[in-house]
Structure 1
Amino acid sequence: MTWGGRDLGARRRSRAIAAAPLLLAWLSGCAGPQAAAGAPEPRAIAPAAPPPAASAAPRPVSVVVERGVEYARAGGQPLLADVLRPDRPSAARLPAVVYLHGGSWRRGSREQGHEFLPQLVATGRYVGITIAYRFTPAFPWPAQLHDAAAAVRWARAAADRYGIDPERIAVWGESSGGQIASVLGVTGGDAAPEGDPPPAQGPGPATRPPSSRVQAVINFCGPTDMAAFFASASTPEAIAEMRGRLEPLFGGPVPERADLVRSASAIHHVDPQDPPFLLVHGTRDELVPFRLSAAMHGALLGADVPSVLVPVAAWGHGFRGAEIDRRVLAFLDRVLWRAPLAVSSEPVRAERTPD
């Protein structure tokens, strides 16, 4: 089998097959000492605070919103975020979830994060951050990745101000935001994505920027293989729309930008050090095919990275639903709090399309 231009070999294939049940058991909360006997425990994030009780219902609290916080500057332009915090946090330091909106890399608003983050923050267990980032065509790739990385670095730098645990940060994106989130998840902390803009500087002497590495990734229907995404358009109308979407992102025809296209494809950067992933995707998505998330899920498991793929049954691009929200919360509690909760990969039904 070849993947990313490399022959992984029979040894890698057998290792991936053996590891997959253990990884799924870990995420489903079923892997106890006996289940893991004779095999190393899958990589996980150690919490800095006790996890919430598995049987306890979320404790509703009020959500405090601070809007228009500058997290970085790009070419003199401020990049803004909204920060959502519980008025009664469950611990002195909480995990943070950075949200990246969709919009084909050319439109959208950080307001879209207000559809998702309040229910997480209202548990008292999370701080939510929804960000604006630069759009095409004025700012081609990787400007969007740089902005997302800057937001994570800023969250770490502002940990004391907002009660954030800098060792527990997740990134969550939908559609184009999911693509950015996934690339950040598999490249965060690398030299290449750490370009401009720098994090907004606070008082005191300048220091080395914090890392942009994250501890969990959630991708709602975002493309993880940009070449395959481009090739998925099959009608003249779809091809024209795809070119209008991706040529501004890559600064020219996609076939002529192979290196840049690859850099924007999370599936080509997967390695065993990547954080756990939750991939949620409509099975009838006609814009971003479901098979792209299925391939990403397989690549993650093949690298021994915990991953859950949740199909949204008979649904297209973009979705909302109470059960989807519960899967997200279970995944974050499992990974960032190490709570003994199940993260089901059973298909889920959506209730509506995004507002």
Structure 2
Amino acid sequence: MNLKIMSLLPGFRYSSVAAPIPAGAERLAVDVAQQIPRRPAGVVRRRGPAYGAGLRSEVLMPAAEGRYPLVVYLPGGGFVRAPTAMARRERAFIAAAGYVVASVGYRTVREGATYTDGLADIRAAVDALTSRAAEYRIDADRIAVWGESAGGYLASMAGLTDSRLRAVVDQFGASDLSRVAEGFDAGMRAAAADPRHPIRRYGAVAANPIDLVATGAPAFLLMHGDDDRVIPPDQTLSLHHALKAAGADSTHYVITGAGHGRLARSSAQTRFWTSLPVMTTVAAFLDHHLRT
């Protein structure tokens, strides 16, 4: 487990039991021995433009000249933190595949913010990046959003409320905060119901992606570990079913053995999310929806 990240999330805990995997979930076979490179060639890092209340993004982009689709990455952090340095290895892999990848911070409960502020920050970041599209070599007509955990929740919220976003990658984000601890132990259920919990302080219980699904929703790729002890896998699967019912293009995978990203219970579980099978799946999804 990542003790440094855990120390920054007050009251963080795992469920002592895994939530049941709903019937019909499609599994993605992952060989964790196949890992993406730590520093792929042909990628440069740049400071992103300022936006919102003094926020900045971190941009990874292909070194070669050209215009590239924009992928907005939203870091996780339990609505307590949103560190733009997160997932640099994974972001570099996508940048090397031919994308401008901007890691975008957003206000959290530490600033007294709610989800509406977070979404406003994301929209402001997209505005700032696309207004300087020539400088950052962005094709502003091809934009996707990608997030993990709290960032996955916000990615889904943004994708379902901002028509500029053509595709969404949501990795182990919540979609119905009223059921966010369903299937977990009593301690997790009690913690999620506590008004002091960051989910409730962020106002997210009143704003569920699953309630925003409608005809015309963007394409979604949803991924979840089957041993996630922080957000139950049914959260992404329920959103997948709602999207399919609305006629949207949605793909959902459960990854056997994977936990909750960097907050998995063991370092072995975190390696699923930096594996070649997972990251090539993300890249192929982006290629299909941003390059065709």
Shared fold (TM-score greater than 0.5)? yes
The equivalent residue for 2:156 is 182
Q: 2:188, 2:253 → 1: CA distance? A: 30
User: RCO greater where, 1 or 2, for CA within 8 Å and sep 6 or more?
Assistant: 2
Q: 2:46, 2:218 → 1: CA distance? A: 28
Secondary structure of the corresponding residue to residue 56 of structure 2: strand
Q: Give the conservation status (yes or no) of the 8 Å contact 1:148–1:181.
A: no
Structure 1 counterpart of 2:255, one-letter code: V
Q: 1:298, 1:238 → 2: CA distance? A: 24
Q: Give the conservation status (yes or no) of the 8 Å contact 2:172–2:222.
A: yes
Shift in alpha-carbon separation, 1:226–1:112, aligned structure 2, 3 A: same
Shift in alpha-carbon separation, 1:87–1:322, aligned structure 2, 3 A: same
Q: Give the conservation status (yes or no) of the 8 Å contact 1:282–1:290.
A: yes
Shift in alpha-carbon separation, 1:128–1:237, aligned structure 2, 3 A: closer
> Given the alignment, which residue of 32, 39, 42 partners 1:62?
42
> Given the alignment, which residue of 258, 283, 288 partners 1:329?
283
Q: Give the conservation status (yes or no) of the 8 Å contact 1:86–1:127.
A: yes
Q: 2:41, 2:89 → 1: CA distance? A: 17
Shift in alpha-carbon separation, 1:303–1:236, aligned structure 2, 3 A: same
Shift in alpha-carbon separation, 1:242–1:315, aligned structure 2, 3 A: farther
**Residues 298-317 of structure 1 correspond to what in structure 2 (within 5 A)?**
298-317=241-260
Per the TM alignment, residue 225 of structure 1 is displaced from its structure 2 partner at its CA by 1.1
**Residues 47-196 of structure 1 correspond to what in structure 2 (within 5 A)?**
61-67=41-47, 69-74=48-53, 78-89=54-65, 92-123=66-97, 125-137=98-110, 138-189=112-163
Q: Give ranges in structure 1 of 5+ residues lacking alignment.
A: 1-59, 190-212, 251-259, 339-355
Q: Give the conservation status (yes or no) of the 8 Å contact 1:170–1:214.
A: yes
Q: 2:72, 2:188 → 1: CA distance? A: 34
Q: Which has the larger radius of gyration?
A: 1
Per the TM alignment, residue 140 of structure 1 is displaced from its structure 2 partner at its CA by 2.0
Q: Give the conservation status (yes or no) of the 8 Å contact 1:283–1:316.
A: yes
Q: 1:316, 1:239 → 2: CA distance? A: 21
Shift in alpha-carbon separation, 1:88–1:242, aligned structure 2, 3 A: farther
Per the TM alignment, residue 94 of structure 1 is displaced from its structure 2 partner at its CA by 0.9
TM-score, normalised via structure 2 length: 0.77
Q: Give the conservation status (yes or no) of the 8 Å contact 2:82–2:106.
A: no
> Given the alignment, which residue of 146, 166, 175 partners 1:224?
175
Structure 1 counterpart of 2:119, one-letter code: L
Q: Identity rate of aligned residues, in percent?
A: 33
The equivalent residue for 1:33 is none
Per the TM alignment, residue 230 of structure 1 is displaced from its structure 2 partner at its CA by 5.2
Deviations 1:139-174 (A, max 9, x none): 122111111121122222121111111110110000
The two structures, once aligned, show a CA RMSD in angstroms of: 2.0
Q: Give the conservation status (yes or no) of the 8 Å contact 1:61–1:88.
A: no
Secondary structure of the corresponding residue to residue 108 of structure 2: coil
Q: Give the conservation status (yes or no) of the 8 Å contact 1:284–1:315.
A: yes
Per the TM alignment, residue 284 of structure 1 is displaced from its structure 2 partner at its CA by 2.2
Tell me, yes or no, if structure 1 residue 261 matches structure 2 residue 181.
no
Tell me, yes or no, if structure 1 residue 235 matches structure 2 residue 208.
no
Tell me, yes or no, if structure 1 residue 247 matches structure 2 residue 227.
no
The equivalent residue for 2:36 is none
Per the TM alignment, residue 314 of structure 1 is displaced from its structure 2 partner at its CA by 2.8
Q: 2:193, 2:132 → 1: CA distance? A: 38
Q: Give ranges in structure 2 of 5+ residues lacking alignment.
A: 1-39, 262-269
Q: 2:180, 2:123 → 1: CA distance? A: 23
Deviations 1:187-211 (A, max 9, x none): 114xxxxxxxxxxxxxxxxxxxxxx
Secondary structure of the corresponding residue to residue 223 of structure 2: strand
Q: 1:302, 1:218 → 2: CA distance? A: 19
Q: 2:277, 2:153 → 1: CA distance? A: 23
Q: 2:151, 2:67 → 1: CA distance? A: 26
Per the TM alignment, residue 292 of structure 1 is displaced from its structure 2 partner at its CA by 1.2
Deviations 1:105-142 (A, max 9, x none): 1024100041321111123x211101111110421221
Secondary structure of the corresponding residue to residue 95 of structure 1: strand
Q: Give the conservation status (yes or no) of the 8 Å contact 1:218–1:279.
A: yes
Per the TM alignment, residue 312 of structure 1 is displaced from its structure 2 partner at its CA by 0.8
Per the TM alignment, residue 272 of structure 1 is displaced from its structure 2 partner at its CA by 1.7
Q: 2:125, 2:55 → 1: CA distance? A: 9
Q: Give the conservation status (yes or no) of the 8 Å contact 2:85–2:103.
A: yes
The equivalent residue for 2:213 is 270
Structure 2 counterpart of 1:111, one-letter code: A
